Structure 1
């Protein structure tokens, strides 16, 4: 019992330390990403997201928030978690190898100006490195979320948010916080109505949004 409590305290301290560093050094970057994503998706662009294991689940969490909603009602936006298409995933892995799992899908679905977000605690997964190379060659904006630098994915992405922790669990937990903040920043921009032309009165906005139901 004492050992398990000690481990729990250490886990919480690790997360607190990582979030403290993220709060000091990563919040501006996440807000910037949310704002820039809000210039891509509403005009027909697309977000592609990928990861392995727990990071794959987080990639799908992000795309669900964009296709569905985060907190308030808004239009649905195009976002695809690349691991979730099981027939394509198994066919590509079988025919081309696991390293090409995401790169081939990026080549199929990505268009210049789209955003590709790659999540990796280590920053060393070969399939994500290949996806980053393919995305950049195809003109996508490639953003990575990783553990500590230096790592190969941070070097190959256009931009990277790195979490300073040696614990895989802590990195994933901090990534989830970052993804929620990304959604908040995205919603803050897309919720703002465009300016009305001169002499035209903009219609009133709804006074209340339908609350999000708990998962």
Structure 2
């Protein structure tokens, strides 16, 4: 089972590494995030389950460091404050748990990165709609069956699989590449993707 999983993961990652469309989309996303962070905006990140953990991981890489010492950038995983999550879920319903946070914390020009393996999570779609209406740049990461999410995203990265664990692996691998680009741009003002 382990060998089979690793082989399926490798196939998906190799497809990404060779797919000009996926690479171009990842490049646009990295350029957008770099431009918005350089302009003084922040990155908000949302996801459910394993994608919530990935949101936290990505935020930590942006605020802290990926590989090298550099200035910190503002990134917030909206998946971490248990008091906010439980209050909003109780008072507004779980569908609005991220949308309400985007409404309160998001400013025009900020970026919302929404991770949804299915592309159909009601709370993710609601957050994207609120973000778009408020003038945030909306970025989605999803799987091969999540293309419906594109209606709410300025940029949508689609992992070439419908297996949730492998989608998440692709998302994190691409996110690490983006973190590397953000870091290089922080160190070298003339850096281009």
Length-normalised TM-score, structure 1: 0.83
2:47 is the counterpart of 1:47: no
Contact preservation (8 Å) 2:117, 2:146? no
- The 5 Å alignment of 1:183-202 reads 183-193=179-189
Contact 1:128 1:153 in 2 (8 A): no
1:71-102 per-position Cα deviation (integer Å, ceiling 9, x unaligned): 11111111100011111111000000000000
Retained in 1: the 8 A contact 2:25–2:156?
no
CA displacement 1:85-127 (0-9 Å, x = unmatched): 1111110000000000000000111111110000011111000
Q: Within 5 A, what are the aligned runs for 1:95-106?
A: 95-106=91-102
What does 1:1-215 align with in structure 2 at a 5 Å threshold?
Answer: 7-25=1-19, 26-193=22-189
What is the distance in 2 between the residues matched to 1:111 and 1:59?
Answer: 19
Q: Structure 2: which 5+ residue stretches go unaligned?
A: none
> How does the TM-score come out when normalised to structure 2?
0.92
After TM superposition, the structure 1 stretch with the greater mean CA deviation from structure 2, 58-67 or 35-44, is 35-44
Distance 1:41 1:133 in 2: 21
Displacement of 1:152 in angstroms is: 2.7
Aligned residue pairs, count: 188
1:111–1:138 Cα contact (<8 Å) kept: yes
SS at match of 1:104: helix
Shift of 1:56: 0.3
**What are structure 1's unaligned runs of at least 5 residues?**
1-6, 195-215
**Superposed displacement of residue 166, structure 1:** 2.1
Larger Rg: 1
- How far off is 1:150 after superposition? 4.7
Q: In the alignment, is the contact (CA less than 8 A) between 2:146 and 2:158 conserved in 1? A: no
| CA distance in structure 2 between the aligned counterparts of 1:151 and 1:33, rounded to whole angstroms | 17
RMSD, aligned CA: 1.4
**Residue aligning to 1:207:** none
Deviation per CA, 1:115-170: give whole Å up to 9, x if none. 00000111110000000100100000000000104533233211100011121111
- After the TM superposition, which parts of structure 1 deviate over 4 Å for at least 4 consecutive aligned residues? none
- State the secondary structure of the residue aligned to 2:59: helix
Partner of 2:60, secondary structure, is: helix
Q: How many angstroms apart in 2 are the aligned matches of 1:164 and 1:119? A: 15
